[in-house]
Amino acid sequence: MRSQLKDLILPLLITLFIFLGLNIASTALLPAFGLSTYILPFNVLFVLYLGFKLQTLWLPVMIFIVQYFFSFFSIEGWELGTIAGILICVLISYLRDLIHLSSAPMTILVTQIFQFVWFVIVSVLIYFKTGDMVYIAERFWRFVPESIFISLMAPLAFLVLDKFWKLKDGVSLGEEV
């Protein structure tokens, strides 16, 4: 595998910088528009990008780092997102040959599906932790518009992130060219 740690540090730092900027902007702008209960899950978008585009042994560590930075903006904590992100990336690795992000509508659809799977995994973990279905039901109605926005943003975000990760169409970092 070509993806050594030294090849991943700079793109990950740039990704985290973008991630922090988007989270700061969304936490400042959403309440200004009266949407204080919504938190845009940019962490899910970046973890899905990493899962779709990278094939490296460092992926779980990078998911942990993204989730740790997201915990600055969320009370849900990094551990649930890290577990969900790793499980999602394992699922993506099994389905990699079937998933082709060749068009914007396909990218939107696949991102929405995996966000729903992410929601189910985190909800099950929260239920095991609290035993409260009311919180999960309330959270679902916030999840729907947040996930639609993130899915619509995915094609543009993936295109921008491809530039920083220096990925060509159809080639993942870690694959031999």
For residue 112, how far is the Cα from the chain centroid? 11
The model's pLDDT over 46-103, given as tens digits with 9 standing for 90+, comes to 888 888 888 888 888 888 888 887 777 666 667 787 888 888 888 888 887 787 777 8
Question: Considering the chain, what is the average pLDDT of its residues?
Answer: 80
User: pLDDT at position 18, please?
Assistant: 85
Per-residue pLDDT at 69 = 78
What is the DSSP-derived secondary structure letter of residue 168?
P
Work out the percent of the chain whose per-residue pLDDT is above 90.
7
User: What is the rounded distance in angstroms from the CA atom of residue 14 to the CA atom of residue 34?
Assistant: 30
Please tell us whether the domain made up of 5-165 is placed in CATH 1.10.1760. yes
**Which whole-number Å values give the CA distances from 110 to 30, 86, 114, in the listed order?**
26, 17, 6
Q: For the chain, give every domain's residue range.
A: 5-165
Average pLDDT over residues 34-53: 81
pLDDT over 60 (residue 28): yes
Query: What pLDDT does residue 3 have?
Result: 60
33-37, 48-52, 112-116, 128-132 — most confident range: 112-116
What is the predicted pLDDT for the residue at 116? 92
Q: Output the pTM of the full model.
A: 0.81
Phi first, then psi, for residue 173 (nearest 5°) are: -65, 130
Mean pLDDT of 121-140: 83
